[in-house]
Amino acid sequence: MRLEIWADVVCPWAYIGKRRVERALAARGGEPVEVVWRPYRIDPTAPERARPLDGLLRDPFVDTALRACAPHLSPEQNRVRVAEVAAAEGFPRWGAAWHVSPHGAHRLLYLAEREGGPALQGAVAEEVMRIHFVEAGDIGSAEVLERAADRAGFADGGRLLRAGEGDREVRELLLRGRARGVRTSPTLLVGDLALEGARHPEEIGVFLDRAGERPARSLPAEVERLHLAEALVEKDPLGALALLEPLLAEYGDDRGVRLAAARARLRSAQVGRARRDLEALVAERPDDSHARLMLASALRRGGEPEAAAVQQRLAEALG
């Protein structure tokens, strides 16, 4: 069984959740569980260069972003609760000092899994969060991240980060998480079964038992990518196009891929390109009422209401 932890390494509940997952796994027998870390961002606006966290926590915008870390608590309640829970979990001290983007840290975690597998990735996650929450270090610093990698036994981590590796892959993973409905940190996923928040070990154990009872299902990689892109079209059409890009390059003649791309272009205001795509799709399949409806929308938005009305009537006649 593969357990994915979708989390932001600057979210305190991610570190507490890590401890609780470890306790749940230690108490559980049966099928071995492989744990992998996946990126999530609670504050996409966090700066690349760290700023002192003291004072920023009173910023309403930052407080709003932090609600994604504990959606059922106010930010102030969350901070008090986190300190109490961290003490109960046995952390020697607690308190992040920096407001900073976790993108570099997420790249390091991705590279650790790529180069050394889930065990190395877990060790890197531990060191990164220890530095951020216990040692009050700046994990936006390349030197600090290299120190975390060295502590975890990932000797090449610093070199790979300096080479810029992992950037595109982490950005795609963020899109995949959004398409799969990840909306808080941490979120545990086994297949399509999700558990949100840093739950107690007993709850995590029940979740894993339930996940283990479900038949494992897997789709071909290109089909999964298409499904994820389609799930993003309405809420993030540019993200959907980013996921579709490899499919368009390799399966550019596939009608499903082309329809998904046309929908995403239409939703992202690329009306002219969407219209050309849809005109070609309708010419190939005149009986495709869905493509005609989208073409009608593209024509309306392009300032051609009469042509749009024709396509609308044809689509309705086709049912």
Quick check: 72 pLDDT over 70?
no
Given pLDDT bands bounded at 50, 70 and 90, which one contains residue 7?
A: very high
The label of the residue with tokens 């180069």 reads 115
pLDDT tens digit sequence for 158-169: 999 999 999 999
Mean residue pLDDT of the chain comes to 92
pLDDT of 95 reads 86
pLDDT of 55 reads 60
pLDDT of 65 reads 57
Domains in the chain, CATH or no CATH each: 2-213 (3.40.30.10), 221-318 (1.25.40.10)
Q: Which of the residue ranges 45-49, 75-79, 248-252 would you say has the lowest mean pLDDT? A: 75-79
Given pLDDT bands bounded at 50, 70 and 90, which one contains residue 196?
A: very high
Quick check: 130 pLDDT over 80?
yes
Across the range 290-314, mean pLDDT stands at 96
> How far apart are the C-alpha atoms of 130 and 9, rounded to whole Å?
10
pLDDT of 254 reads 97
Enter the pTM of the model. 0.90
Given pLDDT bands bounded at 50, 70 and 90, which one contains residue 215?
A: confident
Quick check: 73 pLDDT over 90?
no
Quick check: 133 pLDDT over 90?
yes
> How far apart are the C-alpha atoms of 93 and 86, rounded to whole Å?
8
Q: What spatial distance separates the first Cα and last Cα of the chain, rounded to whole Å?
A: 44
Given pLDDT bands bounded at 50, 70 and 90, which one contains residue 30?
A: confident
Given pLDDT bands bounded at 50, 70 and 90, which one contains residue 123?
A: very high
Quick check: 59 pLDDT over 60?
no
Q: Where are the alpha helices (DSSP H) in the chain?
A: 12-26, 60-66, 75-88, 103-129, 142-152, 157-162, 167-179, 201-213, 221-232, 237-250, 255-267, 271-284, 289-301, 305-318
pLDDT of 69 reads 61
Across the range 123-144, mean pLDDT stands at 97
Given pLDDT bands bounded at 50, 70 and 90, which one contains residue 107?
A: very high
Given pLDDT bands bounded at 50, 70 and 90, which one contains residue 62?
A: low
Task: Identify which has the larger pLDDT, 66 or 92.
Answer: 92
pLDDT of 53 reads 81
> How far apart are the C-alpha atoms of 79 and 309, rounded to whole Å?
56
